[in-house]
Amino acid sequence: MFGLGCLSEAGAHASSLNLSRVALYTDKGISASDHVDKVQASLIQAGIDVVIYDDVAVEPTDESFKAAAKFAQEGKFDGFISVGGGSVIDTCKAANLYATYPAEFLTYVNAPVGDGQPVPGPLKPHIACPTTAGTGSEATGIAVFDLLSMKAKTGIASLHMKPTLGLVDPLVTHTLPKNIIAATAFDVLSHALESLTARPFSQFAKPETAKGRPYAQGGNPFSDIVAKEALTIVGKYIVPAVTDTDNHDAREKLMWASSLAGIAFGQAGCHLPHGMSYAVSGLVKDFRPEGYPQGAPIVPHGMSVILNAPSVFRLTGVHAPERHLTAYKCLGGTHEAGPSEAGDAIAEQLIDMMKSTGIPNGLQGVGYSTSDLDKLTDGAFPQKRLMNLAPCPIERSDLHQLFAGAMSYW
Ligand SMILES: [Fe+2]
């Protein structure tokens, strides 16, 4: 569901799903916002019993997922509502899963970290209400978290985890600080660009059983269409949405692109910029960007993704030049680049957009130096699921080189 003010329809949609008692998941940064008030009031008006859970962690972990699941199990809810960014929506997916099909935590977690068991069946209804124009989590069946014991980012992925309904209300973008708009829009951009350049589904072996089919299947004709549209929108609107805080139209367009890109990468999957981002955000030193809570240091997700992207696409351009050139054109590139220039063309286009929107100058801009290259490489290399979707085989030495290339751009 997409439209200005649609958060106020949460109660009506919950009623039509026959819900009578729901858990509303959010985090402490959002719980006092108008968005939660609006959704809660709409649910109450529809005669629905609402219990709020606002202990969602900004970077969820297995511990915070387990706590959220315990709340879901004990509360005897017949449905779930999430109001927040990707962390909140992902946490709500996991809580719904473990409340509906209780199991040891690692049962459904992606192999090889977890057992990778398929989710047994449909979950309870979940209405997702995103409050940023970034993750597209309302459109995917993926929940990402940090497994504390292994210091690794991993996730749970299943079609059954996809929310029943997303209420995508572009009004939420009007009040977001410009740095948050920039970081989340680059997350959208990279979801779309990684989907468009992901290894095609036709290059993977056919799974032996239907249940063995992976959630992200590689690039395919449907994800291509959706990714191109998302790229075109972000290319046109990212700079005005960041530089002119009153340009509501540009911000609303990014919200639409966010859902489109979520649909694209939910089908195709992401690859190197996201795989590398987990090391960039996980090893954060002392970076505290403006517009974000000033407690713990953080490299916001979209920023940790896009800092790697120009370096990645310079390498991958040669392996799928037409797709990189298509993306370059969608993003507004006008130079008549040939196939051998595809990677550089898209990289330069991204760098221009990063400069225009206040993104730091590469990994050095968020506190890393060349002495961190080994640690960054070690942190990202185990992300096999994402590495396998790159358009070319990736060895450890390639990854090292990609991080080196991402240190600074201008
Ligand atoms: Fe992302």
Q: How far is the CA of 302 from the centre of ligand 1 (A)?
A: 6
pLDDT of residue 4: 96
Q: Quote the domain boundaries for residue 395.
A: 177-405
Q: How far is the CA of 304 from the centre of ligand 1 (A)?
A: 9
Domain harbouring 395, CATH code = 1.20.1090.10
Q: Which residue has the tokens 């297995």?
A: 62
Contact 119, 142 (CB under 8 A): no
Q: How far is the CA of 187 from the centre of ligand 1 (A)?
A: 5
Mean pLDDT of 330-355: 96
Mean pLDDT of 117-140: 94
Q: How far is the CA of 272 from the centre of ligand 1 (A)?
A: 11
- pLDDT of 339 strictly over 90: yes
Mean pLDDT of 128-140: 91
Residues 303 and 368 in one domain: yes
Residues 302 and 380 in one domain: yes
Element (H, E) at 52: strand 49-53
Residue 241 in domain: yes
Q: How far is the CA of 301 from the centre of ligand 1 (A)?
A: 7
- pLDDT of 359 strictly over 90: yes
Contact 253, 236 (CB under 8 A): yes
Residue 383 in domain: yes
- pLDDT of 357 strictly over 90: yes
Mean pLDDT of 314-330: 97
Residue 107 in domain: yes
Give the residue from 170, 202, 229 where a domain finishes. 170
pLDDT in tens, 361-402: 999 999 999 999 999 999 999 888 899 999 999 999 999 999
- pLDDT of 30 strictly over 90: no
Mean pLDDT of the chain: 95
Residues 251 and 341 in one domain: yes
Mean pLDDT of 252-267: 95
Q: How far is the CA of 207 from the centre of ligand 1 (A)?
A: 26
- pLDDT of 80 strictly over 90: yes
Mean pLDDT of 3-20: 97
Residue 68 in domain: yes
pLDDT of residue 385: 84
- pLDDT of 211 strictly over 80: no
- pLDDT of 93 strictly over 90: yes
pLDDT of residue 198: 98
Q: What are phi and psi of 68, to 5 degrees?
A: -65, -35
Q: How far is the CA of 380 from the centre of ligand 1 (A)?
A: 15
Domain harbouring 88, CATH code = 3.40.50.1970
Q: How far is the CA of 15 from the centre of ligand 1 (A)?
A: 32
Q: How far is the CA of 261 from the centre of ligand 1 (A)?
A: 10
Quote the number of domains for the chain: 2
Mean pLDDT of 131-151: 89
Tokens of 354: 């990063």
Residues 166 and 216 in one domain: no
Reported pTM: 0.94
Q: How far is the CA of 385 from the centre of ligand 1 (A)?
A: 15
Residues 276 and 381 in one domain: yes
pLDDT of residue 129: 97
Residues 118 and 216 in one domain: no
- pLDDT of 207 strictly over 90: no
Judge if the upstream peptide bond of residue 112 is cis by omega within 30 degrees of 0. yes
Q: Which residue has the tokens 């985890």?
A: 161
Residue 321: CB atoms within 10 Å: 18
Q: How far is the CA of 43 from the centre of ligand 1 (A)?
A: 30
> Taking ligand 1, which is a single-atom ion, which protein residues have CB atoms under 5 Å away?
187
C-alpha to C-alpha distance for 140 and 198, rounded to whole angstroms:
17
DSSP 242-254: HH-TT-HHHHHHH
Contact 112, 155 (CB under 8 A): no
Q: How far is the CA of 45 from the centre of ligand 1 (A)?
A: 34
Tokens of 150: 């292994």
pLDDT of residue 277: 95
Give the residue from 170, 187, 218 where a domain finishes. 170
pLDDT of residue 212: 78
- pLDDT of 21 strictly over 90: yes
- pLDDT of 355 strictly over 80: yes
Residue 376 in domain: yes
Residues 148 and 185 in one domain: no
Q: Which of 50-54, 172-176, 290-294 has the lowest mean pLDDT?
A: 290-294
Residue 115 in domain: yes
- pLDDT of 149 strictly over 90: no
Q: How far is the CA of 42 from the centre of ligand 1 (A)?
A: 30
Residue 295: CB atoms within 10 Å: 8
- Output the furthest CA–CA distance in the chain (Å, rounded): 61
pLDDT of residue 111: 84
> Shortest CA distance to 8 belongs to which of 56, 44, 52?
44
Residue 294 in domain: yes
Residues 122 and 205 in one domain: no
Q: How far is the CA of 329 from the centre of ligand 1 (A)?
A: 22
DSSP 26-37: -BTTTTTSHHHH
Rg (the chain; Cα; Å): 20
C-alpha to C-alpha distance for 213 and 339, rounded to whole angstroms:
33
pLDDT of residue 168: 96
Residue 192 in domain: yes
For residues 55, 57, 61 and 67, what is the CA-based torsion angle, rounded to 10 degrees?
0
Q: Which amino acid does the sequence have at 322?
A: E
Give the residue from 144, 170, 196 where a domain finishes. 170
Residues 199 and 106 in one domain: no
Residues 189 and 131 in one domain: no
Residues 211 and 136 in one domain: no
- pLDDT of 152 strictly over 80: no
Residues 188 and 204 in one domain: yes
Percent of residues, the chain, with pLDDT higher than 90:
86
